[in-house]
């Protein structure tokens, strides 16, 4: 049985919502402070979820569904690219890890927006810390898996006829 595109987009939205809840759990319950790349990944999850939510509420026909499918795939793949950057930093030899920069709140208050975005997307030394591992994958590894699944789910809606 095939689900309609509306149901798939709704499931994608709830998946994104669940990922944001997990991030909040790690931050507020486990007290793992998110690094700039973690925050960038959360923004990508949020954007992907917003695309899915709008698509589910709007329930467009063929052309609109394809546009939302492309937008959802794009935002999920952008998040996946950030996850790959994060994994790369985590796997650098210790002598090649970039220095830790100022806190993100300081950067937001004292640097121009372009510099803030650069820091958020390039990461700092704190992004190289592996604070949690499950089945051999760190948080950005699992986030990459989720982004690839969300991109696949979204791209499949390009051809979903129901």
**What pLDDT is recorded for position 158?**
83
Contact 107, 4 (CB under 8 A): no
**What pLDDT is recorded for position 99?**
67
**What pLDDT is recorded for position 161?**
64
Q: What is the CATH number of the domain that holds 107?
A: 1.20.1550.10
**What pLDDT is recorded for position 68?**
94
How many domains does the chain fold into? Answer: 1
Over its length of 162 residues, how does the chain's per-residue pLDDT go in tens digits? 468 888 999 999 999 999 999 999 999 998 888 888 888 899 999 999 999 999 999 888 888 899 999 999 999 999 999 999 888 888 877 776 666 666 667 777 777 777 777 776 666 666 667 777 789 888 899 999 999 999 999 998 888 766
In a domain, 161, yes or no: no
Beta bridge partners of 137: 134
In a domain, 91, yes or no: yes
In a domain, 162, yes or no: no
In a domain, 115, yes or no: yes
Q: How far apart are CA 89 and CA 153, in angstroms?
A: 28
**What pLDDT is recorded for position 117?**
75
The one-character DSSP state at 125 is G
In a domain, 125, yes or no: yes
Q: What domain range is 108 assigned to?
A: 5-57+64-156
Which residues are CB-neighbours of 80 under 8 A, at least 6 positions away?
Answer: 144, 147, 148, 151
In a domain, 53, yes or no: yes
């Amino acid at each position: 049985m095939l689900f309609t595109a509306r149901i798939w987009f709704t499931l994608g939205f709830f998946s994104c919502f669940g990922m944001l809840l997990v991030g909040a759990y790690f931050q507020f319950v486990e007290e793992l402070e998110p690094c700039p790349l973690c925050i960038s990944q959360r923004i990508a999850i949020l954007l992907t979820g917003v695309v899915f939510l709008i698509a589910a509420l709007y329930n467009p026909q063929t052309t609109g569904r394809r546009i939302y499918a492309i937008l959802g795939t794009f935002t999920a793949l952008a998040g996946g690219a950030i996850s790959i950057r994060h994994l790369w930093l985590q796997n650098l030899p210790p002598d090649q890890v970039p220095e830790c920069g100022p806190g993100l709140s300081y950067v937001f208050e004292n640097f121009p927006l372009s510099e803030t975005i650069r820091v958020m997307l390039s990461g700092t030394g704190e992004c190289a810390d592996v604070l949690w591992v499950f089945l051999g994958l760190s948080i950005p590894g699992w986030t990459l898996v989720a982004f690839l699944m969300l991109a696949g789910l979204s791209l499949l809606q390009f051809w979903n006829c129901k």
